[in-house]
Structure 1
Amino acid sequence: MNMPLELCEARDPKGLYKLARAGKIKGFTGIDDPYEPPINCEIELKQDNGICPTPTLMAGKVVTYLEDKGFLEC
């Protein structure tokens, strides 16, 4: 997933980012530990023109990729 940190924080139902910012969780990616994007990833889920796709659309992209690569049989 390649999403802005602000979006991840806004969609954090468990409040983990808030705890990390308060120093209660150490080594949290994007807060006090750097995010290192993968090199040559097989699939990337990201915003399109600043709009985040719905979970259903993102899941569909993953399933389609897995089907196309022969990992799933339908």
Structure 2
Amino acid sequence: AYELRFNEKKKKKKKKKKKKKKKKKKKKKKKKKKKKKKKKKGRRSTLMTTVGRRKRGDEEEEISPYPQQGDVLIS
């Protein structure tokens, strides 16, 4: 009887292994790019416009890249 009791004591309970949980990967958020504001460069806004020219009295013939009706194109 003694041996039986001794053997029973020796038996240990087996520990259950815990399953590891898989970690979910977080999605990275894309950063929005900020639009740059264009700086207005002081006087230049009216310098080369027709309004600006009129104010300064630079109304001598405006040279335009497009041919006028008076010009004759030789091809």
Rg bigger for which structure? Answer: 2
* TM-score bracket for the superposition, by shorter chain length: under 0.3
The two structures have a TM-score, normalised by structure 2, of 0.22
Higher relative contact order (CA 8 A, sep 6+): 1
Higher helix share: 1
